[in-house]
Structure 1
Amino acid sequence: MAQTQMETPRLEGSAVIRNEPVQARSAARLTALLDAAAHVVHEIGYERLTTAMVADRAGASIGTVYRYFPDRIAVLQSLAARNGERTIDRALAEIANPAHPNWFIALGNVFDSLKAAFRDEPGFASLRYGDVLDLRPATGRPAMQGFADRLFDALVTRFDIDGSDAARSAFSAVVVTTDALMARAFAQNPAGDETFLLAGVATASALMSPYWETPAA
């Protein structure tokens, strides 16, 4: 499947918007449109979303939607970018939290923040990073890779652990694998199937154990 470009979520979010809002009213209107899109995606899936549905759900005209987005794909990309931005902000905050004494506990809290997003944020399960969108040709770095790299760099800096290319590759595998496990956990269970969620923690420990010491429980 092709991957959506996103060097970082924050950069990509503005790249697909037709008019970057500079006034509070415009920013609020854009937020309302993306919130509406998120609820539609949550209810019927991103494949069926249309710009008319976004306009109707937001109580806006179709012209307002097209003022910001050239088409439905741009809506989806922007929603994915916003989800990615929020995700990385929460993740980096957990890693920087002085209450977390080691990488394993910090990463566990990052996982907890992701689980909360799956449970509570409309549209997050479908458009976490944007890589799900099959856009061709595939160019640039996958969004999930950008997410993995930023988490890896933050963990290495905070806890002074192995930052080698081999460790980075293993951590990328952790992010891809745990994302798939979380998606499966929430596929039919709104609360998340604990079997798959716990498997994500075990996967992180197993894949990183050659590089980062897993603290004793």
Structure 2
Amino acid sequence: MSTVARNQQRSSTSGDGSRESAQVAAASGALRRRPVQQRSTERVTRMLDACAELLDEVGYTKLTTTLIANRADVAIGSVYQFFGDKRAVVRALGMRHLEVFFESLATHIAQRQPAHWWDLVDIAIDEYIAMHRSEPGFRTTHFGDAVDINLLDDSRTNNDVLTDRIERLLDEHFNIGSPRGLDMALTVAVETADALIKLAFRRDPDGDPALLAEAKKIIRQYLATYVQDRDS
């Protein structure tokens, strides 16, 4: 069953569709207009699902709004009602991916109860790896890098947006504030993990396990060094 079909089935059986609405709301920065009615929200969700599937099948270069409309079973006018072009659809998908990432991260933090803030970063790496394996369209564009490294925010790179959200999450759970050097440490950790994880999935469609393990070890050792330097 395709992602679009699964979503249609989910919409017909779910209660208030609050998670779907929240993810569309997260993507609203890329929308021409924000859907108000549930039916419009479901249409936008189908378009994003269709975009994700097609990115994995044909890639960004061959992606078109017509393909998205056909796969989502909507009129092409419906696509342009909410999106200016295919880049806008991919941007909205990247924002939804970011929201899905942090929703799943929050769930796993609650389950694993990390004792230290660098353990939370470790959980984030696990979730980033899981997104490559389970979230349609993610391994093709990540948070939009394949299209534009500034896709999520015109003034910052996609990884800077991710780093900022992780830093806020760390402060929320560990009340760490903004100690000197933390911004740089997290930037290095995110950029390094991102590069190594992408390499692992280029080598193996399921992610080269040895390389993924090495990536986690490198980040753990680096963050441990930062903590030691800060405490010394």
Instruction: Report deviation, 1:89.
Output: 2.7
Provide TM-score, normalisation by structure 1: 0.82
Provide TM-score, normalisation by structure 2: 0.78
Match 1:189 to one of 169, 191, 204: 204
State how 1:175-214 maps to structure 2 within 5 Å: 175-212=190-227
Q: Which amino acid aligns with 1:15?
A: G
State how 1:74-85 maps to structure 2 within 5 Å: 74-85=88-99
Match 2:28 to one of 8, 11, 14: 14
Deviations along 1:102-159, whole A, 9 cap, x unmatched? 33433322222222111111101122222332389x9412221121122123224533
CA contact (8 A) 1:21 1:27 kept: yes
Residue 121 (structure 1) aligns with: 135
Gap regions ≥5 residues in structure 2: 1-22
Higher deviation after alignment, 199-208 or 48-57: 199-208
The whole-number CA distance in structure 2 between the counterparts of 1:178 and 1:56 is 36
Q: Which amino acid aligns with 2:94?
A: A
State how 1:95-114 maps to structure 2 within 5 Å: 95=109, 97=111, 99-114=113-128
Residue 80 (structure 2) aligns with: 66
Backbone CA RMSD of aligned residues: 2.6
Deviations along 1:19-62, whole A, 9 cap, x unmatched? 21111111000000000000000111122110011011112221
Residue 186 (structure 2) aligns with: 171
Task: Give identity over the alignment, percent.
Answer: 32
The whole-number CA distance in structure 2 between the counterparts of 1:11 and 1:32 is 14
Asked which structure has the greater RCO (Cα within 8 Å, sep 6+), the reply is 1
Gap regions ≥5 residues in structure 1: 1-8
> What secondary structure is seen at the aligned counterpart in 1 of 2:34?
coil
Instruction: Report deviation, 1:187.
Output: 1.9
Residue 6 (structure 1) aligns with: none
Q: Which amino acid aligns with 1:28?
A: E
Q: Which amino acid aligns with 1:180?
A: A
Name the structure where helix makes up a greater proportion of residues. Answer: 2
Q: Do the aligned partners of residues 163 and 199 (structure 1) sit closer, same or farther apart at CA in structure 2, a change above 3 Å counting?
A: farther
Deviations along 1:165-217, whole A, 9 cap, x unmatched? 4122011111111111111111242221012211221221232123326xxxx
CA contact (8 A) 1:95 1:155 kept: no
Match 2:62 to one of 41, 48, 52: 48
Q: Which amino acid aligns with 1:147?
A: L
CA contact (8 A) 1:162 1:211 kept: no
Q: How many residues align?
A: 205
Match 2:41 to one of 19, 27, 35: 27
Q: Do the aligned partners of residues 146 and 99 (structure 1) sit closer, same or farther apart at CA in structure 2, a change above 3 Å counting?
A: same
The whole-number CA distance in structure 1 between the counterparts of 2:62 and 2:120 is 37
Match 1:39 to one of 28, 41, 53: 53
CA contact (8 A) 2:24 2:44 kept: no
Instruction: Report deviation, 1:162.
Output: 7.8
> What secondary structure is seen at the aligned counterpart in 1 of 2:148?
coil
Q: Which amino acid aligns with 1:140?
A: S
Residue 174 (structure 2) aligns with: 159
The whole-number CA distance in structure 2 between the counterparts of 1:35 and 1:122 is 8
